[in-house]
Structure 1
Amino acid sequence: MPPAKKRARSYDPAKTRAAVLAQLGNVREAVRGLTPGQLALPTRLGDWTVRDLVAHIGMAVTAVHRAAARPAPPRQDAQVVQWPFATAASADAISDFTRNLAADHPDLDAYLTDVDRSLRALLAEHSGGRLLETSAGAMPLDDYLVTRTVELVVHTDDLNAAVEGLGVPYDRQALAAATRLLADALALKAPGASTEVRVPPYAVVQCVEGPRHTRGTPPNVVETDPLTWIRLATGRTAWKDALAGAKVSASGERADIGELLPVMT
């Protein structure tokens, strides 16, 4: 008998919308207090400064606006779990767009305030089922908003890493959605059921080809916390460094998933 097809994860649309707005609000509050010197600090994203990074966070949210401004596609042809694999192709264009955006918006607080206002207006105007053409293909607005939690959480972490003591908080629902989407993407990239990846309290997925377990503790287990998982999945932390720093535990001969990471680049 062939293995049962895994059911796609569903996300609560109201919680996703609230999470995106909450995490954007967390970033806005932190950016409001940044000094010119802090905005000029380097980040771990190549030659981007903190100013560039903040501009990019706003740009990641207004990707919803740009997609909604185009005609709706005739049918859905992509699932939200495919999105992490579609981001690398546009990296150069995004970098150029970000620098121009940072130069055009010297008042970042005002910029993010306008992004928040316009997003709320857009969400009030469009139903969650409205199809959008995205980098991964056509998907509903509510699904695309799940990808925005990844953008917001990942870049909040980048911001915290760049500015010592900043401590921008992570909205719980945004962190949960980002963790789950990136875990599901790993399972899609390496289908199977020989290894269980646990990211408590938000996600558990099975992946990697090989013998599947049917009861009890699986023979191959990877476990880590949400932020470490997100850093691994996006290339912010190397697998070997996470192991050496005891940020991740891996037991079993198929628990070394380093070659599968990052999931999203």
Structure 2
Amino acid sequence: MPPRPRARTYDPAKTRAAVTAQLEHVRDAVRGLGEEQLAAPTRLGDWTVRELVAHLSMAVGAVGRHLERPAPPAPEVTATGWVAATAALGGDIDDDTRSLAASAAPAELLDRAAARFAELLPQAPGDRLLAARVGAMRLDDFLVTRCVELVVHTDDLAAALGTTLPYDRQALATATRLLADALAAKAPGGSVEVRVPPYAVVQCVEGPRHTRGTPPNVVETAPLTWIRLATGRLDWSEAVEEADVTASGERADLAPHLPLLA
């Protein structure tokens, strides 16, 4: 069996600051949106911008909701494991999102989530266990996944509004690294080197392991392109054809392993 990659660690203070910063970017983008913009379609099935914003508020609001509940007895899921486990929860998430979207104005939902996050987080230790949908997780790990949620759906929001939105550098780096690690976990091995400069490099896919010199199989792309590939927003063959991805070597085809998170 290929060796298991060493688990990546994330600076808790930087992760907390990244969640706050990216949430503020989203709040700035949503303030002042009119009804026509809120009713605009997104690339997420039949969700409109209104449902998308509600989902973002729910993703951040989950931190406060979990902190208010009793802690589970033992951790069950890591941040990397969250990526694989989330895909099975689409139906429940969709139902909850639609219900939340109908309950209040989008900007109000974000304001509530931000206020609760700011109130509860400073007193919460990083090893506090949360009863997340996918299983019990450490707070610090759960916050890493909130960076993924915020970055992925900020990109969805920008696409729906036809604009460019800002990304907190640490939030973008965290999302990029976690999704790269999830690929290495899903397709363990050392025959392909995936580079997402300046944030991540991982080795994956079974086959001859590279040890020195230039790797024979290399994939390289930009952070947002990688995030879109990993979440099914962008097709692998399309990205290669458009030169958004460079892939060299006979094993450098990641299509069988994507997406990681839908």
**TM more than 0.5:** yes
- Equivalent residue, structure 1, for 2:193: 196
Aligned to 1:256: 253
Residue 209 to residue 101, structure 1, CA distance change in 2 (3 Å): same
Report what 1:136 is aligned to. 134
Q: Is the 8 A contact 1:76 1:131 kept in 2?
A: yes
> Which residue of structure 2 lines up, in the alignment, with residue 73 of structure 1?
72
Show the counterpart of 1:183: 180
C-alpha change, 1:145 and 1:216, in structure 2 (3 Å) is same
Alignment of 1:1-265 (within 5 A): 4-106=3-105, 108-165=106-163, 167-265=164-262
The one-letter code matched in structure 1 to 2:177 is R
Supply the RMSD in Å over aligned alpha carbons.
1.2
- Give the C-alpha shift of residue 69 in structure 1: 2.4
Q: Distance in 2 between matches of 1:145 and 1:242?
A: 29
Q: Quick one: distance in 2 between partners of 1:223 and 1:171?
A: 22
CA shift digits 1:140-190 (9 cap, x unpaired): 10110000000000000000000012x220110000000000000000000
Q: 1:4, CA displacement in angstroms?
A: 4.9
Name the SS of the counterpart of 1:104 in structure 2. coil
* Structure 1 residue matching 2:250: 3-state secondary structure: coil
Q: Distance in 1 between matches of 2:104 and 2:150?
A: 19
> Does the Cα contact within 8 Å between 2:219 and 2:252 map onto a contact in 1?
yes
Per mean C-alpha deviation after superposition, the further-off stretch among 67-76 and 205-214 is 67-76
The TM-score normalised by the length of structure 1 is 0.96
The number of residue pairs the alignment matches comes to 262
Note if contact 2:2-2:189 (Cα within 8 Å) is conserved in structure 1: no
**Aligned counterparts of 2:131 and 2:238: Cα–Cα separation in 1:** 37
How far residue 3 of structure 1 moved from its aligned partner, in angstroms, is 5.9
What is the rounded CA distance, in whole Å, between the counterparts of 2:185 and 2:3 in structure 1? 14
Unmatched segments (≥5 aa) in structure 1 = none
In the alignment, the residues of structure 1 paired with residue 175 and residue 79 of structure 2 have an alpha-carbon distance, to the nearest angstrom, of 11
| Unaligned ranges ≥5, structure 2 | none
Q: Could you tell which deviates more after superposition, 28-37 or 128-137? A: 128-137
Q: Measure the CA separation in 2 of the matches of 1:255 and 1:44.
A: 28
1:3-44 per-position Cα deviation (integer Å, ceiling 9, x unaligned): 654210000000000000000000000100212111110000
Post-superposition Cα deviations, 1:64-107, rounded to whole Å, max 9, x if no partner, equal 1222222112122222110011112211111111111111112x
Change (3 A) 1:242 1:51: same
Task: String of CA shifts for 1:183-225, please: whole Å, max 9, x gaps.
Answer: 0000000000000000000000000000011111100000000
**Given that residues 190 and 209 in structure 1 are in contact (C-alpha distance below 8 angstroms), is that contact kept between their aligned partners in structure 2?**
yes
8 Å Cα contact 2:192-2:217 kept in structure 1? yes
Q: Tell me if structure 1 keeps the 8 A contact 2:64–2:120.
A: yes
Give me the whole-angstrom Cα distance separating, in 2, the residues matched to 1:171 and 1:119: 18
Query: Equivalent residue of 1:33, what SS?
Result: coil
Q: In percent, how many aligned pairs have the same letter?
A: 65
Question: What do the CA deviations read for 1:208-255 (whole angstroms, capped 9, x no partner)?
Answer: 000011111100000000000000000000001101111000000110
